[in-house]
Structure 1
Amino acid sequence: MSKYNFYKFFTLYFILFGIAISVLGSFVSYALQVKDINFDMAKKANEIFEIKTDSILKPFIENMDNTVISLVSNNTIKEFLKTRDEHAKNELEQIFLAVSSSQSIITQARLICKDGKELIRVEKDNNNDTNIIVEKSKLQDKSDTYYFQKVSQMKEERLWHSKIDLNIEHGKIEIPYKPTIRLAMPIITNGEFSGMVIVNVLVENLFLAIGKSSAFEHYIVDKENNYILHANDKFSFNKYKNIKRSLNEDFENGLEAKGVYTFALDNILKNEDKATLVFKTKKSYENSLFKKELNTIIIILIANIILSFIVAIYISKTPTNLQAALVKAHEKLNEFASIVDKYVITATTKPDSTILSVSSAFESSSGYTKSELIGKKMNIINNPQQDKKIFLELWSTILKGEVWSGIMKNRTKKGDIYWLEQNVVPTLDKDKKIESFVSVGVDITAKVELERLASIDKLTGAYNRRMIDEFMKKEIFLHVRDSKNLSLIMADIDHFKLVNDTYGHQAGDAVLSDVGRIISSTIRKSDIFGRYGGEEFIVICPNTSSQQALILAQKIREEIENFHFAEVGHKTISLGVATLIANDEVENIIKRADDALYIAKKEGRNRVVLG
């Protein structure tokens, strides 16, 4: 393809790309704006709720609560309930009348005795909208009413709120409908219920105040999903009007749907309704917000498309010039991949460790060909001597989708040991499930061998003094931290100088080698054995008490005593035992073992002494 054709191709490509980005950007922007609109509507709903409750509902309820409290707090009530004095009754009637007249929303205020009979009732006269005192002959027995049953069972003077319902007179709902809430408080005398004050409050104006806003339709539902307040007044108090109205008819997707906001009112209306105030976003309000945002997005989209044409013509020159550089970079990448394949030990396996691919470097290190490896399990190169804990740790890590790093002791096709410093990386599919494992390793066999040689005494095969000192520091730290026993055995070959002087250094080296082999085969797997210098040996005994260490030391002494050394014959050793104590350091415990060894030598050799 010529440079001119590439220029036309990239120009068209960037124009289409610019249009696609503009459309996508506009879509994302619109989605974000929708999200912001939803957030703003939720915020607005919360603000309206706070205004409605803090400035209207709460003050309304608190005012009525205080009215009931003020009536109950009047000392004349308890006196009247006790004496039934007519003078006190007249006084109370005037108080009830004054309180009712001062609050136009109070339709009834009553004093009921402990038997459920009305003693005083002040109510609103529907004919002239004034409050009147009901004559004695018209007072009723309210002992069977639900509110008397509730309040009479209360053991302390506290407020009680009824459900919000329609006012009932003589067993029938009063028409026109009068939404009503009753607030009551028991009167307790000497710990016993002696009567109650109850006030009927008209909530029609309250509902008008909290039931409307420009953005939302307002509803109040009780715990049984009956409407107390409905945007269409016909369905308000549908339970009491015997009108069936399901929530699904107004909220197709339930109260959790987008654009519907609910607020509990039971901390304000402390009654059995467990009422919830529901705001449903008006379609007209929602559409106006979305239309405004959509118009803005369209303008931005058109501007972006025009800009895409201009930018595409200009920037198309750059990709054309980059074509040659890209081809060259591709060649370099292939060259780099070839280098990685040749020098980096990599393998890809299935989740069950079946090998899918290996690098040429993997072939070289393992001695197997790719055809011999692919389809086989990764354990084809496992060394039987590898610590099983390493495999458990590896699988535990990578099966959780995490990267494992560590050192593996492997075996070549010929059976030779080689060491890899490996990183095993899980690769995941789109469902976050493990698809394969990629192993990347570095051959550190030479390094491991150098480290081994640097830590081993060549003559005896035991750890050298440098390594023993490091082990001592580590073991003391671990045993102090875990409050466990730690013991130390120091051993020295008796009259070793005489061996060198009599038989020569070559025979002395043979004795040292045999003693090292005998001690190494006698101690436990958990013990750490080393040559501490000259003819002196040391055994670190983790999780071992002094008595257990003495038994082990005696066993070592007996094995040496009973062994026949070539050319030299029989030899003995002396041993000193020390056990870790509080605040011990490496030098302290070694000195105590060494002092015990000295005593063993002094007392005749071929013995064990506890320091």
Structure 2
Amino acid sequence: MFKFYEIKKLFFKNITLIIFFAILITFVTSVINYNIKYSELNEEIKKNIQFDLNEVKSSTKNYLGNIENTINSILINDIFINYLIENSSDNKKRVSDLFKSLILSHKNIFQLRFIDTKGFEKIKIQKERNSQTIYEVDADSLQNKSDRYYFKETISTKNGNYFHSQLDLNIENKKIERPLRPTIRISINIFHQDIFYGIIIANVDMDKLLTHIKNSNNFDVYMIDKLGNFIIHPKNRKAWNKYLNNGNTVFTEFNLPLNYLEEKNIGEDRYIFSLENYFNNKEELKLILEVQNKYLDDIKNSNLKYIVILGISILFISILLGLILSIPMSKIYINFNRLYKENLRFMNIINSHIITMTVGLDRKILDVSDALCNVSRYSKEELLGSSISIFNSDKTSPTLYKEILEQIINGNIWEGELKEKTKDNTYYWLKSTILPNFDDNHKIISFTSISEDITDKKTIEVLSQTDKLTQLVNRHKMDECLENEFDRFKRVKIPFSILLIDVDKFKEVNDNFGHQVGDTILIELSKIFKENSRKIDIVGRWGGEEFLIICTNTDKDGAVVYAEKIRKKVEEFTFSHIQKKTISIGVSEILENDTLPLLVKRADDNLYLAKDEGRNKTIS
């Protein structure tokens, strides 16, 4: 009985000591951690400031760099270079179409101009803000901009360097555009073979970038110029005071002495940084980050909550320490939980931004990422369990799908581009890597694709290679196709022929019925050529009312048969407005020791011979 009493007494004594020391350890640890957390407050603020600042700098660099890359793509484009060398109406139209396609693909550019050496606007493409209509400004409305500061600044800029204008508000009809449209102009000198031709200048809508910069969870964001005028202000009515005359500057806002804009903190919880290296416009723009009270309170409350939780945890663990050895298990749990959360975070990032899909050997979809759902417009529920043929496009050869599957089943990795179909029957392009998945016995059980959406890139490629009126391949692309066929003939001696087609008496159509009717005739002819050509043939607009068809793997006799088929189809067709129209065709076949100019010249000579012999003929 005594022994039990002593054991019981000793047990409670030990428990009391454990509780006492646990409370003492908890108190001391809590005080120390509270002081540490308090001292870490500024470091955490600085870390978040640096994060926000890096985000601003990165976004600005990418935003403006993207514009410069777009302009640079014009400078190296053969269409634009040809226009500089030969200022013809056809070349000018091609450049205008190029400008339109770039504005269409780049939502932030709303005006793109080519200005010559004397400051005259030669090409001006505009995008309306509300309707997003893209149009070319009439020649009568083009102006001389030689007296504008951005023209003078650009031509004085070192060759190869871009000029950035002031960040201002767009003016329409001599009034500030509403809603406000923050604008910057980015321009560069044009040199070709050391000859100065003028400048290219893009008017860029900066609203998206400035809104992104302004949206901070932890700080009130201001942007000012070297005179202290606000460009960004947390209260929109106080922004752009230089242009809206609201009388508000950084000096009145923060009660600062003049010229007090150094790169340091300007008051408690307020920090200023230079953006001069990112906006090359001599405005000496600066970013001010002011810590939000809510952010400070959240940090303090979080720290206090951390201390309370830590104290309770230490107390609890200290008590249990006298009873059980739980530390190893606690460490295992904590590490597992941390790794799980980290893995979950990365999986969420991958799921949202990377296009992935896992498919079983029965070709049924096992898993897809949210990114694939977004691009294909199917929900995950619609895709899981469906066949991968749900994405199959009639624009992609069924043979290619079969080859991909065979390659994966053989344990190989496939890489390439696929044109797929969305739920609403539109198309998108993926650059994909498809690899097999193995079980523990190295047996293939499924395969996974990892893809990148390259639809925008493909769209731009098509626009730059397509004649706008007829939707056929344009002259520039036809030249490239001829080169490819010629190279193949030189390598493996596969013959090919060309048909050079001209519309008979087409000038009379334009003179008697107008160019709009003429355009309609060209469109209808294009449809006839496409509908009566093979998939391997290449049909393009050669210029004006002339068309060129490349007949792959076809000798002259076969080409003549094909040409006669097309000629008769045109002769039998009932056109809009004019009822009947005929064509003349010149045929030529590639010969040994031939050149492309000779091949085209023979077709051209045969075409004119067909014209001389009464038109509506095929001559080879």
TM-score, normalized by length of structure 2? 0.44
Larger radius of gyration: 1
